Structure 1
Amino acid sequence: MNKVSICFISFFFLFFFSFVNFMFMMYFIMNNKVLFLEWEIMTLNSSMVVMSILLDWMSLLFMMFVSLISSVVIYYSKGYMVSEMNLNRFIILVLLFVFSMILLIISPNIISIFLGWDGLGLVSYCLVIFYQNMKSFNAGMLTVLSNRLGDVCILMVVAWMMNYGSWNYIFYLELMKNDLSMMMVSSMVIMAAMTKSAQIPFSSWLPAAMAAPTPVSALVHSSTLVTAGVYLLIRFNLLLINMLFIKFLLLLAGLTMFMAGISANYEFDLKKIIALSTLSQLGLMMSVLSMGFPNLAFFHLLTHAMFKALLFMCAGIIIHMMNDMQDIRFMGGISFYLPLTSLCLNISNLALCGIPFLAGFYSKDLILELVSLSNLNLFIFLLYYLSTGLTMFYTIRLLMYLMIGDYNLMCIFNLYEEDYGMLSSMFMLLFMSVISGSFLMWMIFSYPFMVYLPFNLKMLVIYVSLIGALMGFLVSGMNIYSVNKFIMTYNISNFLCLMWFLPSLSTYGVSYYFLYLGQNLLKIIDMGWSEYYSGQGMYNIIKNYSIFYNIYQLNNFKVYLFSFVLWMILMMLIMI
């Protein structure tokens, strides 16, 4: 089977699967149906091995989005990875990734959730190290080890749920929510979700995973790997509402949102800016979940998936055209050379900012109005609104560098939109980025939300967005009023650009002292006292003794003594 045919077959299969899911989802949501299937695989001594499947409007809708985005990404990969020798292997890995996510989505059983969860971690490692170089290997190791912490938490959930006689967690959510075992289960689920969705202090793997090919980044950061933790918390939300740990998660998610927004403003790598924006939106979803709005978090998860996948695809075409250059300081004026890509990039960026009537507006505006309505403290309130302003800040800065500024790379590069397959896949997501917000709003919420607030509080989103846009314009360096020289002082930018030193803390910071201790132990004990008193020392002592005894055993002393006696006899004879 040649390269093109496996791409087309995968694309049509996933697209058809998405369409079927959409039809079933409409039927389920209109008739308020839930389907719980159990397939008995085998029975051994009255112990059943059962595969359970839960189909409701939420799992069907999420499967529809995952399969739609993955079909479009595979079609896009046909053009993006055209020079790749092992394209079939890449497509098969992406399909494995998607099937692991689907297994996780439809599972009401913690064992099959663990299979999907672990499949995501394993296949993401294979995809991050796809370009086999040292940077990819380091990023893959950081990704897989961070996710292993979450896997261990899920394993501990499996162990704690052995008290109940079944691993079908949906039966116990309402009934057992005040039980100690269920409290331990919910704590472990929160920990697992924090690692998979890269909340502080596990944030450093998300930008590092940008070492993967761009189609993988589009898939990972929109609807699969990073959203698995959010989806798990949505499913377990009944357990989490009254927990103290969930209030702590609200703080951590708010800080993640704020940290990612600030770091994106100091970053010059195009893919890392978009990755940090994903991290910021994940913090938003997790904090909304912590406030007890699972449907709203799910709504933002789906709208975000569309424009974030599109944003990565646009970045992929730009990087492709720039001969694999990712630094935004070398780009500029691309709207003249890549007009259709620039159109997609601008609309997806505006959807990310929450510009009215695009996909992001419906979820972000509703979230921020409910935050204003909730009885949260001032710190969380400020984190939400500052992060919203920072989103506008880094978006306008990115657009200024890419669209408005001068082209800063060598003029030998020929920029043109060559592959219409890639563009057609992007236009499909462009259409969804525009309409999915209103379409989901009408479908998920059966009654319209009316949030009544004072005028200034209602307009606060617009105020912070406009201030963020102005700041983004000022720091972009495209004007005489650039304030870059004031805010880019060395110490501050080092702290902010490096994600509050989280990558250093989670890699070199963790391993340095252990490695240093190991080196000293090796020098002092293994190659020092230990050698002196055991191996080498004993060897030297025995060797010296053996040499000494060897002299005796060779009868040299007898020969010397005999020759001395002979000389004495000879001397006496001469004297006589």
Structure 2
Amino acid sequence: MSICILYYKMFMFYSLCLYFLSLYLLNLDFTLYLELNILTLNSISIEMIVYFDWMSLMFMSFVFFISSLIMNYSEEYMMDDKKLKRFIYLMVMFVFSMMLVIMSPNLISILLGWDGLGLVSYILVIYYQNVKSYNAGMLTALSNRVGDAAILMSIAWMFDMGSWSFLNYIDYFLMNKEMIWVASFIILASFTKSAQIPFSSWLPAAMAAPTPVSSLVHSSTLVTAGVYLLFRFSDLFSENFMSFILYISLLTMFMAGLGANFEFDLKKIIALSTLSQLGMMLVIFSLGDKMLAFFHLLIHALFKALLFMCAGFIIHNIMNCQDIRFMGSLISYLPVTCSCFNISNLALCGLPFLSGFYSKDLIAEILSMQFMNFIIYALFFISVGLTVAYSMRLSYYVLLGDFNMMSLNFLKEEKNQMLKSMMILVFLVIFKGSVLIWLMFPTPYFIVMPFYMKIMTLLMIFAGILLGYEFSQIKFYYQNKSLKFYHYSMFFSNMWNMPILSTLGVSPYFLTLGQLYLTKMDYGWMEYYGSKNLFFLVKFSSQLFQSFSHNHLKIFMGIFFFFFFFLILSFF
């Protein structure tokens, strides 16, 4: 049995066990809290705490389920890789780092999992070992280090509490004004991991990783860790913090939806759609509905994993080309893959009675019920329309359109393991939304709205379809650089110049400072009075003593002559 199949079966077993256990705990409204004291030093105790409620178990079961399918998928996708075992072990480390973040409410053990995610994601992004991968890996690692430093700062702020288990101190946090800093650092850490503005540029760059990694990272692990941390600390945030999260996540959602309509890289379009959906989760979370945000998180994990699997299969078949302009009419050659791709795309749009509809429609209606200003309302619904627009544009380029690859191609869709994983997942993308909404919300939401607000989501979907069709028709305009449209498209597709700001906008200062240190310190007076001058002194002394040892008779006679000469002079 290969290592991929072994982990596939093992993770699938874990997933089913955890899923049924989570339903049992949900039914009983029961929570399991285990505490292991590792070290007690004066008034500080370091504990390993495991906190099992139905939310953490449900999330862990989804992570294990998607990971198991990706392990099965990887056996064929990474078939030609000589270091397949290393790749699988890295994926397993990634999954278990995520488990640490999910099941522990202690900031120390959260930091272990958090840092594990950052480190392993860096290794996986640079897996293909080329200059583009190295640049993307550094951008990913350094953006995430900001969040790691924020968690370290929150650990330092909680030092006088006696323990780092924040569940014990929620009431104290609300009374103590100083704990506003802990809340600020947690929000900063979450924003870096879930790539909200201004840390958004690393998410599309991380597409340099192999496609199974992208599927795992963007569905249920790395980017959702930040959102999950906010769920756990939700009692800590005041109304001002919630308003701040609302505005930042709305802007992120809008920026990602706009950027995806001008992008031509298949994986980057799906990455920007992940960013847009993360923004939507945080919008509904900031309005106070944590459960609905969690529901959308689980549903999004399913259809985003399937979307990446289909994209990987297509890229694998058309000789590793990721530019959607070279695709077209693939539904004629890869019918099963394109059907799965289209279903997950429609679930992302929120097509009625697919799984994405149950969460997205509810989020849109609950936002409509809030007393919000018009800017928030308009930005949200425009972003919903943009989601449909880039999905329709993607479907047009990949499934319909003209086939622009070489006429001598070898597109095939036989019985293989990649298709098995995709077929298992497509059933869940269709049915899981309705099943989960019955389980998680036994008392249905009762929403009453005016007619024009009720159909606003539907209107934006139709507007998005028209916009997506228009975007797919203007593909040849990009060649003419004299058009103003080109410059606007470059600004939007470049995520409002955020990658430039986070690379060229930051790196020159540190490079200039390093050059200053090199010239003034290493090559300057410190070098002269330090290592360089000391080296020359030792070198000169050793040469002098060496000459003594080589010419000892002449030197001895010379010294004796000078001594005798000065002795005679002293008598006169």
Q: TM-score, normalised by structure 1?
A: 0.88
Alpha-carbon RMSD: 2.5
The whole-number CA distance in structure 2 between the counterparts of 1:474 and 1:394 is 11
The answer as to whether partners of 2:43 and 2:162 remain within 8 angstroms in 1 is no
Match of 1:381 among 352, 377, 382: 377
1:303 corresponds to which residue? 299
1:352 to 348, 351, 369: 348
Structure 1 counterpart of 2:90: 93
Q: Which residue of 2 aligns with 1:214?
A: 211
Q: Which residue of 2 aligns with 1:29?
A: 26
Matching residue of 2:16: 19
CA contact (8 A) 1:161 1:181 kept: no
Q: Find the counterpart in structure 2 of residue 263 from structure 1.
A: 259
| Helix, strand or coil at the partner of 1:372 | helix
Corresponding residue number in structure 2 for 1:408: 404
Q: Distance in 2 between matches of 1:533 and 1:77?
A: 58
Map 1:83-122; keep pairs closer than 5 Å: 83-122=80-119
| Preserved contact between residue 15 and residue 64 of structure 2 (Cα < 8 Å) | yes
Count of residue pairs brought into register by the alignment: 533
Partner Cα separation in structure 2 for residue 457 and residue 47 of structure 1: 54
Matched, 1:500 2:496: yes
Q: 1:153 aligns with which of 146, 150, 155?
A: 150
Question: Residue 363 of structure 2 corresponds to which residue in structure 1?
Answer: 367
Distance 2:523 2:163 in 1: 54
Task: Determine the structure 2 residue equivalent to 1:64.
Answer: 61
1:509 aligns with 2:505: yes
- 1-structure distance, mates of 2:239, 2:8: 43
CA-to-aligned-CA distance 1:222-252 (integer Å, 9 cap, x gap) = 0000000000001111111x24233122111
The DSSP-based 3-state class of the residue aligned with 1:245 is helix
Q: Which whole-Å CA distance do the structure 1 matches of 2:7 and 2:508 have between them?
A: 45
Which aligned pairs between 1:523-562 and structure 2 lie closer than 5 A?
none
Q: Is the 8 A contact 2:72 2:418 kept in 1?
A: yes
Give distance in 2, aligned partners of 1:125 and 1:533. 41
- Find the aligned partners of 1:195 and 1:45 in 2 and give their Cα distance: 34
Matched residues in 1 for 2:41 and 2:71: separation? Answer: 41
Q: What are the Cα deviations for residues 537-570 of structure 1, in whole angstroms up to 9, with x where unaligned?
A: xx9xxxxxxxxxxxxxxxxxxxxxxxxxxxxxxx
Give % identity: 54
Match of 1:452 among 448, 451, 473: 448
Query: What CA deviation, in whole Å up to 9, does each residue of 1:81-132 have, x standing for no partner?
Result: 0000011111100001000101111102111111111111111111111111
Relative distance call for 1:450 and 1:127 in structure 2 (3 A) is same
Provide closer, same or farther for how the CA distance between residues 522 and 94 of structure 1 changes in structure 2, counting only shifts above 3 A.
closer
How far is 1:393 from its partner? 0.4
Paired residues of 1:358 and 1:433 also in contact (CA < 8 A): yes
Which string of whole-angstrom CA distances, capped at 9 and with x for unpartnered residues, describes residues 377-408 of structure 1? 11111111000000000000000001111110
1:494 Cα offset (Å): 1.6
Matched, 1:229 2:226: yes
Partner SS for 1:499 = coil
Q: Give 1:55's aligned amino acid.
A: F
1:9 to 6, 11, 18: 6
Q: Which amino acid aligns with 1:196?
A: K
**Structure 2 CA distance for partners of 1:47 and 1:189, relative to 1, 3 Å:** closer
Residue in 2 that maps onto 1:195: 192
Kept in 2, the 8 Å contact 1:193–1:230? The answer is: yes
Structure 1 spans left out of the alignment, 5+ residues: 540-576
Q: Which residue of 1 aligns with 2:541?
A: none
- Which moved further from structure 2: 323-332 or 371-380? 371-380
> What is the alpha-carbon distance in structure 1 between the residues aligned to residue 41 and residue 475 of structure 2?
74
2:126 corresponding residue in structure 1 = 129
Which structure has the larger Rg? Answer: 1
Q: Report if the CA contact (8 A) 2:45-2:163 is conserved.
A: no
SS of the residue corresponding to residue 506 of structure 2 reads: helix
CA change 1:45–1:515 in 2 (3 A) is: closer
- The amino acid across from 1:327 in the alignment is D
Displacement of 1:39 in angstroms is 2.6
- State the AA in 2 paired with 1:505: L
Contact 1:285–1:297 (CA<8 Å) still a contact in 2?
yes
Q: CA deviation at 1:180?
A: 2.1
CA distance in 1, matches of 2:448, 2:269: 35
**Structure 1 Cα separation of the partners of residues 111 and 458 of structure 2:** 42
Cα 1:285–1:362 change in 2 (3 A) is same
1:275 alignment partner AA: A
| Distance across 2 between alignment mates of 1:324 and 1:469 | 29
Indicate whether 1:80 and 2:49 are aligned.
no
Instruction: Report the alpha carbon displacement of residue 479 of structure 1 after superposing the two structures with TM.
Output: 10
Q: Provide the C-alpha distance between the structure 2 equivalents of 1:427 and 1:410, rounded to a whole number of angstroms.
A: 29
Q: Give the secondary-structure state (helix, strand or coil) at the position aligned to 1:33.
A: coil
Q: CA deviation at 1:515?
A: 2.9
Q: CA deviation at 1:446?
A: 2.5
2: CA distance between counterparts of 1:141 and 1:317? 27
The residue aligned with 1:341 is 337
Counterpart of 1:246 (choices 242, 255, 259) is 242
Query: Where in structure 2 are the equivalents of 1:309-320 lying within 5 Å?
Result: 309-320=305-316
Can you list the C-alpha shifts for 1:314-351, whole angstroms capped at 9, x where unaligned? Answer: 00000000100000000000000000000100000000
Aligned counterparts, 1:563-574, within 5 A: none
- Counterparts of 1:147 and 1:426, CA distance in 2: 31
Q: 1:547 corresponds to which residue? A: none
What letter is aligned with 1:308? Answer: K
What is the distance in 1 between the residues matched to 2:160 and 2:368?
A: 41
Paired with 2:426 and 2:375, the residues of 1 have a C-alpha distance of: 36
Is the contact between residue 199 and residue 252 of structure 1 (CA under 8 Å) also seen in structure 2? Answer: yes
**Structure 1 match to 2:202:** 205
Q: CA deviation at 1:196?
A: 0.3
State the AA in 2 paired with 1:274: I
Gap change, CA 1:175 and 1:48, over 3 Å in 2: closer
Alpha-carbon separation, structure 2, partners of 1:462 and 1:495: 29
Q: Give the corresponding residue for 1:468.
A: 464
Aligned-pair CA distance for 1:213: 0.4
1:39 is matched with which residue?
A: 36
| Structure 2 counterpart SS, 1:452 | coil
Q: CA 1:155–1:372 in 2, change beyond 3 Å: closer, same or farther?
A: same
Q: TM-score with structure 2 length normalisation? A: 0.88
Q: Decide whether aligned partners of structure 1 residues 72 and 487 sit closer, same or farther in structure 2, where only a CA change above 3 A counts.
A: farther
**Pair 1:294-2:287 in alignment:** no
Give distance in 1, aligned partners of 2:438 and 2:314.
Answer: 35
- Once the two structures are TM-superposed, the CA of residue 511 in structure 1 deviates from its matched residue by 1.2
CA distance in 2, matches of 1:518, 1:103: 37
Amino acid at match of 1:292: G
Q: 1:194 to 1:46 in 2, by over 3 A?
A: closer
Please give the alpha-carbon distance, in whole angstroms, between the structure 1 residues aligned to 2:158 and 2:273.
Answer: 36
- CA 1:532 to 1:425, structure 2 compared with 1: closer, same or farther past 3 Å? closer
Closer, same or farther in 2 for the Cα pair 1:527/1:484, shift >3 Å?
closer
* Alignment partners' CA distance in 1, 2:35 and 2:22: 20
Q: How far apart, CA to CA, are the structure 1 residues paired with 2:309 and 2:178?
A: 44
